[in-house]
Amino acid sequence: MRAPLSLQRRWSPGLISAVMLSFAGHAAAASESDVLAQGRALTQLYLACDTQAVWSRMDAGMQRFVRSEEQLSQMCRHSRDSLGEETEVLSETVETLAGFATYKRTARRSKADVPYVLQWEIAEDGSVAGLGLFDQRDEPEPAPTEYLDYVTQAELHLPFEGEWLVFWGGRTVKQNIHARQQQQRFAYDFARAVDGRMHQGDGTRREHYYCWGTPILAPADATVITAVGDQPDQDIGSMDKANLAGNFVVLDLGHHEYAVMGHLRQNSLRVKVGQRVKAGEQLGECGNSGNTSQPHLHFHVQNAPEFGKGDGLPAFFVDYVADGEPVPRGEPVRGQVIRSD
């Protein structure tokens, strides 16, 4: 399993392979028109290679990721020399969700055969929390799967209490970055959000996040077949790419269905391999271990017992509430606020 386990979402193949950052939990941007204006202004600064101005707008996490103003300048000059000037803007879109805003601009460039997409993640205070540039053809399609019509045999309940945000979930790549990968085709990332924010304070510490340390529960009666609990939790802004899921549990649900739950808190596991658990029994706590940019829970169902193997399966949950409406059985999708009924 790779980066989709994290809350990072922007990829930038080719020209700017380094410039993609998480946009973890800033306060919500004021309005779509404000985001549109800010995105346009930032784009003009970038196209003019005014990297001093762009660098000064980047938040601390983004500056750590890019490393230096000189590095940003090199990237900007390389993209300008390779792609040329903008000749036609094809589309502009704005998306807001749980305390961040995304401005996405697709345009033709004088030296490029295909349109390129420039994307900004913008916080309420106007700071830049993410940047990506990529060939429009590199926007991924969902991984092919023969399980689109599959219905989960296990009766799955939400693996937590209280209200949580579906950060990634759904069957399209726009809804769910995991949909690009066969093993995680129908995966979810869940995080808690209170009043439109995923954290209190400035979000620079794990403890600031509302889901940090909250109990993670067994979604169904199952047998524990994998339990890893000794991986360290990452500081905000750093990720462990060598241990992608961090601390995680794999549950045998029966019917060749296996639930994977990742990024659990170090030393929080209450279960061991071979243990039989009941639905609602605590497995551990939500953490920030592995390849993740902020505390959250990764959840997916697959048809193989080994982590990251086989095919991802749809994960239907029962008896939950989504955006205030009861759902007897369904698949949560990005942007919904969900809780057990």
Residue 143 lies in a domain: no
CB atoms within 10 A of CB 93: 14
- 70 and 123 within one domain: yes
The CATH number that applies at residue 174 is: 2.70.70.10
Residue 158 lies in a domain: no
- 181 and 107 within one domain: no
**Cα 138 from Cα 117, distance rounded (Å):** 10
Per-residue pLDDT of the chain (341 residues), as tens digits, is 323 223 333 323 222 222 333 333 333 445 888 999 999 999 999 999 999 999 999 987 788 788 899 999 999 999 999 999 999 999 999 988 766 788 999 999 999 999 999 999 888 778 898 898 988 876 678 999 999 999 999 999 999 999 999 999 999 988 998 999 999 999 999 999 888 788 888 788 999 999 999 999 999 999 999 999 999 999 987 888 888 899 999 999 999 999 999 999 999 999 999 999 999 999 999 999 999 888 999 999 999 999 989 999 999 999 999 999 999 999 999 999 999 98
- 186 and 123 within one domain: no
The CATH number that applies at residue 11 is: 3.10.450.50
- 320 and 204 within one domain: yes
- 70 and 214 within one domain: no
Q: What is the pLDDT of residue 339?
A: 96
- 105 and 51 within one domain: yes
Q: Is 209 helix (H, G, I), strand (E, B) or coil?
A: strand
Residue 149 lies in a domain: no
Interval 71-130: pLDDT, tens:
999 999 999 999 999 999 999 999 887 667 889 999 999 999 999 999 998 887 788 988
Residue 83 lies in a domain: yes
Residue 152 lies in a domain: no
Please count the structural domains in the chain.
Answer: 2
Residue 25 lies in a domain: yes
Residue 145 lies in a domain: no
- 334 and 251 within one domain: yes
Rounded to 10 degrees, the C-alpha dihedral 259/264/269/274 comes to 20
Contact (Cβ atoms closer than 8 angstroms) between residue 131 and residue 19: yes
**Cα 140 from Cα 281, distance rounded (Å):** 37
- 205 and 57 within one domain: no
Residue 123 lies in a domain: yes
CB atoms within 10 A of CB 143: 16
* Domain around 256: 164-340
- 129 and 168 within one domain: no
Q: Which amino acid is at 233?
A: D
Among 138, 172, 207, residue at a domain's last position: 138
- 210 and 109 within one domain: no
Structural tokens at position 215 = 């109990």
Structural tokens at position 223 = 């047998």
- 133 and 177 within one domain: no
Place of tokens 């919904």: 336
- 326 and 179 within one domain: yes
Contact (Cβ atoms closer than 8 angstroms) between residue 113 and residue 46: no
CB atoms within 10 A of CB 60: 13
